Amino acid sequence: MSRIAFLMREALVNLRRNALVVVGAILAVFISLSLAFGALVLNELVQRNTLTWQDGTHVIAWLKDGDQGGLETTGQLGLMDEIQAWEQVETTRYVDKLAAFQEFELLFGERRPELVAEINPNALPTSIRIELTDIDLYRDVVFRLQSNPAVLNVTSAGEQIEQLSSLSTVLNVLGLGLAVLLGVSAVILIANTIRMAIYARRDEVSIMKLVGASNWFIRVPFVLEGMIEGILGAGLAVLTVWIASQNLVTVGEAIPLLTLDIPTSFFIQWGVLFVIFGALAGIVGSVLGLSRYLREADGSGVPVAA
């Protein structure tokens, strides 16, 4: 126990002696992992919004009124039954003028009450909301609806979902690339920090070697130093991205059709993994930074500058 306490004390002494360099290493890890973790969170947001849209209404057919050359209510309901029979269609839902106004009021009542007050409920068109068996089939359904003379307009989330899916793929590749590239950068920066620290204490290390200290006894304080730097940098990165995501939730409340809320479990799960990665990066960087000096000390008894 006394040996462990000694090694921990030495690691803390190293951190205090090289405070400026240590802060630089922590910031390097912080910036690197913040970018990687931020890309991961952004990708999660894209996936959640894509799934939300995929599980809801995919196509909306806005219908003409009877005085516009369209169908009366009975005919519109008949059209809905016809659409329901299409093989690409999972479910359909009829939204009359009153329901359309209530939906409009729900979406804009708090943010734009003056706009709601100006809208005539009878001015909003009736619509048929369509959920598809497969979102990839939306083009066929849109084409068939547009060719129907009773349909005023057709809107679809298909193109947006395709764009979100493409963005999700790009973010996956980007996140992986950033994690690898910036992780390697963090390891190199920590290794450089440890090399500077051991160079500043080269005489002390040489004396320890002369009195019979093993390489691992010399290594452990520096490894602990690198691990602490990695943990602090990764922890700050996770905390910063989490705080930023909470601010996004506040912004998202003003955008009803967009989901910007990510469950705490996501941050706990990935946050722990990033902190572990930061610790491993610090350990690997420390081992790399020490290896050359210890080899030189073994050969000559005195470590020299790289």
> What is the three-state SS of the chain?
CHHHHHHHHHHHHHHHHCHHHHHHHHHHHHHHHHHHHHHHHHHHHHHHHHHHHHCCCCEEEEECCHHHCCCCHHHHHHHHHHHHCCCCEEEEEEECHHHHHHHHHHHHCCCCHHHHHHCCHHHCCCEEEEEECCHHHHHHHHHHHHCCCCEEEEEECHHHHHHHHHHHHHHHHHHHHHHHHHHHHHHHHHHHHHHHHHHHCHHHHHHHHHCCCCHHHHHHHHHHHHHHHHHHHHHHHHHHHHHHHHHHHHHHCCCCCCCCCCCHHHHHHHHHHHHHHHHHHHHHHHHHHHHHHHHHHHHHCCCCCC
pLDDT of residue 175: 67
Whether the model pTM is above 0.75: no
- In this prediction, residue 304 carries a pLDDT of 40
Give residue 302's pLDDT.
44
How many CA atoms within 13 Å lie on the side-chain side of 74? 0
Q: Over the chain (306 residues), what is each successive 10-residue block's mean pLDDT?
A: 62 67 78 80 72 66 78 87 90 86 70 68 83 81 88 79 68 71 73 69 69 72 81 90 77 52 82 88 77 60 42
pLDDT attached to residue 85: 92
CA dihedral 98, 102, 104, 105 (to 10 degrees): 130
From the CB of residue 101, how many other CB atoms can be counted at a distance below 10 Å? Answer: 17
What is the predicted pLDDT for the residue at 298?
57
pLDDT for the residue numbered 42: 76
Q: What pLDDT is stored for residue 293 in this prediction?
A: 64
Q: Tell me which residue has tokens 């290493």.
A: 25
* Tokens representing residue 261 in the block: 């809320």
